[in-house]
Chain A
Amino acid sequence: MENQEKQFRLNVTRRHFLTKAGLGFGSAALGSMLFKDQLFGVDQQQTIPLGLAQYAPKAKRIIYLFQNGAPSQLETFDYKPLLNKMHGEELPASIRMGQRLTGMTANQEKFPLVGSTFGFSQHGQSGAWISELFPNIASIADDICIVKTMNTEAINHDPALTFFQTGAQQGNRPSMGAWMSYGLGSENSNLPSYTVLLSRGRGNGQGVYSKLWTNGFLDSVHQGVVFSSGEDPVLYLKNPEGHDKQSRRDMLDQLAKFNSEAFENFGDPEINTRIKQYEMSYRMQSAVPELTDLSKESDTTIKLYGPDCLVPGTYAANCLLARKLSESGVRFVQLYHQGWDTHGNLANDMRMQAEDVDRASAGLIKDLKQRGLLDETLVIWGGEFGRTNYCQGKIDVANYGRDHHPKCFSIWMAGGGIKPGMVYGETDEFGYNPIKDPVSVHDFHATVLHLMGINHEQLTYRHLGRRYRLTDVAGQVVNGIIA
């Protein structure tokens, strides 16, 4: 609200002219104090209060373990024995139904079905089928909800990732984390409310770009802050040699004075954002080292996440850091683990990728649970789309490739108001089309916002003459997966 007010002031309007040009300074100033909203034309349709949940949230924080590159659903959570039986046979046209293909396989003459080279077995009370690649995730089957019918509109990485993160394929819209930060505010003002952690696996990788954690048209305080994967997760946070805390404090005070003067003159809200960022950085000097110190981790914790968690920049280290950040009140911790783009050499790549993420992903859930935090933290694990049931490139029982597939793929969620120990949605025997309870990306966003205590239709921001939502003009809360 404050932000909109500032934005409004930036535009030269009649009211702007009246307040700035001195026509009755006193009265205009008094008026602005008494009738702020009326004077500065705040979006009257913004019906919900910002900075707080609308209704009691089931989840207070989110950790999103994004599996970048799109892991195959057929080697992870969607068990399709028919594909093994029909190995090498052509994908029936009645199943494909003219689905648009990527440029990588559209010109293939044949679309031979290919079954998973990895075994599956049932786990937990729901009897969820989980691939042998994920023994640790299988051990938390009773804590997670696998959604097998996720579907998206995009068939290539960039638009699909952007769609998942911002609700639109083209970019420039605020990312999920930015919307959360905008709608719910920060829990801990000593840390950014939206942080991003990157890691790279050994499989075929796809890039991630800062547009995925952009604040879009929202105030830039809502932008995702990337923690670097090196030894110093937040660069330039330490005081330079020869500067003590007090001299840093004095410098910041003086700088804030100059910035405030600049704000008085120009009224650019970004100046205030900058002042706030400096103040937060100052407090981060104390807050961050507490979190990133790996020297005090117990043996149990290291075994829980796997010994990689002591190597900065690995997925395991990021999972551990994500738990600590989340525990310290960071609303949205976004991880990206690259390397799931298995167009070829799938068997080998999947094995290495699974090795990297299995233990740490499950460890994170167990760690949150044993600290009594799982019921207030929503954890999401999944990629941007799924992979085709037919083979890309050379087909072999032991090794093959799969292209991008948008119509159904599996993700899992845990904690924060999600029904534990269940499998949601059904796909056909070919693992190609959803046949029951499909979940679109908009539905997914609507559900996540709902769990955070926000009605997705009411969290809006006015920009370029219309109101925007994370869910655009679609999205239904998936009640079936809510506890």
Chain B
Amino acid sequence: MSRHLFIVSNLLIVLQVFLLVFCFVDLSVLPQLVLFTGRFHPVVLHLPITLILLSIPFSIYLQRNKDAENLSTLFDLLLHYTALISTLTALAGFLLAAEGGYDEESLRFHKWLGVAVAFSTHALVYIKKTFRQRAIVWNTAMTTTLVTMLVGSHYGGSLTHGEGFFTFNADPKPSIAVATFTDKTTVFDGAVQPILAAKCVECHNDQKTKGGLNMKNLSSMMKGGKSGSMWVAGDPEKSPMVERLLLDMDDKKHMPPKGKAQLSAAEILLFQEWIRAGANPKTTYHSLPDTNVLRTIVAKIIKDVPVPKLEKTYSFSAASTSTIETLNSPFRRILPLSSTSPALSVKFYLKEKYDLNMLKECKSIASQIIEVNLSSMPADDNAIPVLSSFENIERINLNGTLISGKNLNILKANKQLEQISLASTSVGLPMMDALGNMPNLKKVFLWNTSITEADIAGLRKKYPKVGWDLGYIPDKNELLKLTIPRFLDADKRIFGPDELIAFKTQMKGVQIRYTTDGSPPDSLSSTLYTKPFPATGMMRIKAISVAQGWKTSDTADNTFFLKGFKPDSIRMINPPDKQYKGQGALTLTDLVKGSSGNLNVNWLGFRDNSFKAGIYFSKGEEIKEILLSTVESVDGYVMPAKKIIVKGGESPGSMKVLKTLVPEQPKEKRRKHLIPFVIPVEKKKYKYIEIEATTVNVLPKWHPGKGDKGWVFVDEVFFY
């Protein structure tokens, strides 16, 4: 015996001892990693099958050719390996089974037959030594091994692929329930009972009544078992049956027991919902509303339940997906009514992409189209014959198209036509008779056409079957308020001498009237806005919108500024507060007005210091007026400056006071508003100007922050 064979035969003995041990101990206690090796069972199991089958030609040949010694040695080796692999397969099989989840019945046979194959192949190794002398013994042993292997494999296959996998059946996929759901079929008969029959009755029947429970039929179930009744109608959480279905697989009380065929999640849900709905055995499937949970679950589990009829059924067949796909584009969208419906709707998008051919091309799906939407497309009367060729069409939307309506009578041929929308088209009363006579027409939409209320009344009388809809007609007595005039550039408040102030175009028939002197505008005497106008200095424009048949709008009140001389440089003598420092001195001449709504941007704020800035004009400018733009916000402690002092001259060293201003202080709380100070000065050339605005250092008694310091805010300075 070669060394090689020696090792194999000894290894074989060791492994077979293991196999013997495996037969009698609980393997599920082994570590997961060891159990995992069991997963290789399905990988190796085909080897022993092959090797055993291969042994047959070998033994036949060797029995006939007695002197083929080399081949005999090879056969020895083959048999050793057959036994080795068979044993390994069996070992792996035990580990796999220990992970659980298999039907005990099939498993038992498979397991023992597998063990038998392992041992009998080992026996063959020894019998082979004398197989030429005692052919009968050898042949019997060989045949037994072969048969054991075949039967064992069959059970194995059943475990993996399910019972009956090897049994020929005309119905390829047997489903649980065979009942057809007629109007009278109850949920119990059609779904509940079949599941019980398939997965529970095996152990709970007349002969075998595990736990004292017989689930053969409803009356026997109602009797309950050893631990009481199966369910509490209406309360699945308290029902022992549901509890047992939901328990952990390893729990002793889990049903069906480990190893038996388990219920699917949907099936468990069915029991829960059936019990929740009262466990009524008389509830029929069709009595449940379409959206009922129980109904949905039944429909999911039972394959031959008819799909709930939530939609109209059509007799025509569906168009091919490829046809629909070729027609579909971003500008012509074809969609089925639902994922299961053959009916199609066609809608067109983007005016510039539409032409009649786009509609004509739909002929390949002519019989499936039930809806066409051409709204806003430049479709004209030529579209009507094409629409009529869609024999099953139900709804047509022609709102805002170019059709005249003169050939609408063509649609008489379309017996299914229910609704046609003609709003915002040029159709007229004479064409309405054609519509009134249509066999199935239920709704016609005529808003924004030449049809009048009187016409509609006549049509309703003449063709009462059709719903004539004229839509919204404004009430002549109801006056609505116009919106306030808006400026073309909503935020621009500073204009150069060559720039124009413009209002936005209003709706047709609306006039804008305005004043520039701060007086309230009226609809008669105030200036009528006809074209953009230039800003002349600081302008407070108050404007209203006026129109016949409308209420006059609220007043728009805005102040505009004219750009002045641009200083060469500007410096802050006192810095602004850290919180409101804007862009520093630049903020004052950046030509961006701050708004009273947001003091955080475009404004400089001063509290501890007064506002004090020096402005340089290196060549000197002839200045006659200075405009200091500030804001008042009583709530925010922002008050008008206490005093404004303007000095000017050739340089900081040589100036004189040009003007001192003491602004009026508020007497009570009032709305936030801008305060531009217009300061006239002696008209002459200045090279340097200094402006100081002091803060109110003690807020008055009426103010919520009385005694506290006030703020001064400045956003812009202009020089004219």
Chain A residues in contact with chain B, CB under 8 A? 47-49, 52-57, 187-190, 283, 286-287, 290, 295, 297-300, 302-304, 306-308, 310-311, 327-329, 363, 366-367, 369-372, 450, 453, 455, 457, 476-477, 479
Contact = CB atoms under 8 A, between A and B. Distances in A.
A136 B67 CA distance: 111
Contacts of A372: 395, 397, 399, 419, 421, 423, 443, 445, 469
A231 B311 CA distance: 43
A311 B397 CA distance: 29
A91 B18 CA distance: 80
A267 to B, nearest CB: 25
A372 B446 CA distance: 10
Interface in B494-553: 505-509, 550
Closest 5 pairs between A and B when the two form their complex, measured CB to CB: A370-B471, A56-B311, A370-B447, A372-B421, A55-B310
A259 B482 CA distance: 50
Interface string B256-297: 000000000000000000000000000000000101010010
Interface stretch (B207-215, B330-338, B660-668): B330-338
A370 B445 contact: yes
B471 A366 contact: yes
B574 to A, nearest CB: 37
Contact of B333 (A187, A290, A295, A310): A187
B651 interface: no
A57 B338 contact: yes
Contact of A52 (B336, B421, B482): B336
A354 to B, nearest CB: 15
Contact of B472 (A49, A54, A370): A370
A48 B507 contact: no
Nearest to B345: A60
B340 interface: yes
Given A48-B339, A307-B481, A450-B291, A299 B508 contact: yes
A307 B333 contact: no
Nearest to A50: B339
Interface string B650-661: 000000000000
A306 B480 contact: yes
B222 interface: no
Interface stretch (B348-356, B451-459, B595-603): B348-356
B388 interface: no
B483 interface: yes
B448 A300 contact: yes
28 contacts: A53-B337, A55-B308, A55-B338, A56-B310, A187-B333, A187-B335, A188-B347, A188-B349, A290-B351, A297-B507, A298-B448, A299-B507, A300-B472, A300-B474, A303-B474, A304-B474, A307-B507, A310-B483, A310-B507, A311-B483, A311-B486, A369-B471, A370-B445, A370-B448, A371-B447, A372-B399, A455-B296, A479-B289
A55 B423 contact: no
A460 to B, nearest CB: 14
B205 interface: no
A287 B399 contact: no
B330 A283 contact: yes
A286 B341 contact: no
A187 B347 contact: yes
Nearest to A57: B338
Interface in B583-600: none
Contact of A370 (B311, B340, B469): B469
A48 B350 CA distance: 31
B312 interface: yes
B108 to A, nearest CB: 32
Contacts of A188: 330, 333, 347, 349
Given A55-B311, A372-B419, A287 B350 contact: yes
Contacts, number: 125
Contact of A189 (B308, B330, B339): B330
A290 B483 contact: no
Interface in B108-145: none
Given A188-B349, A189-B333, 6 more contacts: A53-B337, A286-B350, A297-B507, A307-B507, A310-B506, A453-B338
A471 to B, nearest CB: 12
Contacts of A187: 333, 335, 347
B483 A52 contact: no
Contacts of B486: 311
Q: B interface, how many residues as a size bin?
A: 35 or more
Contacts of B289: 479
B80 to A, nearest CB: 35
A304 B293 CA distance: 43
Given A189-B333, A300-B472, A457 B296 contact: yes
B375 interface: yes
A297 B333 CA distance: 27
Nearest to B351: A290
Interface in B426-484: 443, 445, 447-448, 469-474, 478, 480-483
Contacts of B397: 371-372
B134 to A, nearest CB: 51
Contacts of B338: 52-57, 453
B489 to A, nearest CB: 10
A224 B506 CA distance: 32
Contacts of A367: 471-472
B452 to A, nearest CB: 13
A190 B349 contact: yes
Contacts of A307: 480-483, 507, 550
A366 B472 contact: yes
Contacts of B443: 372
Most chain B Cβ neighbours within 10 Å, of A188, A295, A310, A370: A370
Given A189-B333, A306-B480, A307-B483, A55 B340 contact: yes
Given A370-B469, A370-B472, A372-B443, A56 B349 contact: no
Interface in B98-113: none
B286 to A, nearest CB: 16
A302 B472 CA distance: 11
B339 A190 contact: no
B376 interface: yes
A371 B483 contact: no
Contacts of A290: 350-351, 376
Contacts of B483: 307-308, 310-311
B546 to A, nearest CB: 13
A123 to B, nearest CB: 17
Contact of A329 (B339, B340, B347): B347
Contacts of B296: 455, 457
Contacts of B506: 310
B480 A56 contact: no
A287 B291 contact: no
A190 B335 contact: no
Contacts of A300: 448, 472-474
A266 B447 CA distance: 54
A479 B293 CA distance: 13
Contacts of A370: 423, 445, 447-448, 469-472
A312 B337 CA distance: 35
A190 B340 contact: no
A303 B508 CA distance: 13
Contacts of A283: 330, 350
A366 B330 CA distance: 29
A144 B423 CA distance: 23
Contacts of B347: 187-188, 329
A48 B423 CA distance: 37
Contacts of B505: 295
Interface in B304-341: 308, 310-312, 330-331, 333, 335-341
B62 to A, nearest CB: 41
Contacts of B445: 370-372
Contacts of A48: 339
Contacts of A310: 483, 506-507
A457 B310 CA distance: 17
